[in-house]
Amino acid sequence: QKEVEQNSGPLSVPEGAIASLNCTYSDRVSQSFFWYRQYSGKSPELIMSIYSNGDKEDGRFTAQLNKASQYVSLLIRDSQPSDSATYLCAVNKEYGNKLVFGAGTILRVKS
């Protein structure tokens, strides 16, 4: 079992719709969770971080964390073609420790 699992996609959504990206992790001691966006040929860009159960909203993005289910998600409201990218879920087990990345989900927003 991979430490961090994501559906590779591609996930296709129409412009203006809500895109829902999911991620599960295997280690229950994981404490910090991150979503990065990576455009083709570019390096990852931090979108959201979340540390406690529940929802965290930042503009069109909402991260959701459920530690009991070992599940973290990212919702993108009013999806735009510019949101088309690979979204990487990353988990940090301990404070200051390295990140474990999922393989990423390809999102395609069609206009």
Partner 1 sequence: GAVVSQHPSRVICKSGTSVKIECRSLDFQATTMFWYRQFPKQSLMLMATSNEGSKATYEQGVEKDKFLINHASLTLSTLTVTSAHPEDSSFYICSASSSGQTQYFGPGTRLLVL
Q: Name the segment binding partner 1 (CB under 8 A); options: 58-66, 67-75, 76-84, 101-109.
A: 101-109
Answer for which of 30, 32, 62, 84 binds partner 1 (CB under 8 A) is 32
| 33 beta partners | 50, 91
Q: Taking CB under 8 A as the rule, which mask of x and - marks residues 51-90 in contact with partner 1?
A: -------------------------------------x-x
Side-chain-facing half-sphere of 60: CA atoms under 13 Å = 12
Q: Could you give the CA distance from residue 19 to residue 93 in angstroms, rounded to a whole number?
A: 27
User: Per CB under 8 A, does 49 bind partner 1?
Assistant: yes
Answer for which of 43, 69, 82, 111 binds partner 1 (CB under 8 A) is 43
- Residue placing its CB nearer to partner 1 in the complex, 17 or 101: 101
User: Per CB under 8 A, does 23 bind partner 1?
Assistant: no
DSSP the chain: --SEE-----EEEETTSPEEEEEEES-TT--EEEEEEE-TTS--EEEEEE-SSEEEEETTEEEEEETTTTEEEEEESS--GGG-EEEEEEEE-STT--EEE---EEEEEE-
Q: How far is the CB of 105 from partner 1 (least distance, A)?
A: 11
Instruction: Using CB under 8 A, list all residues that contact partner 1.
Output: 32, 34, 36, 42-46, 49, 88, 90, 92, 95-99, 101-104
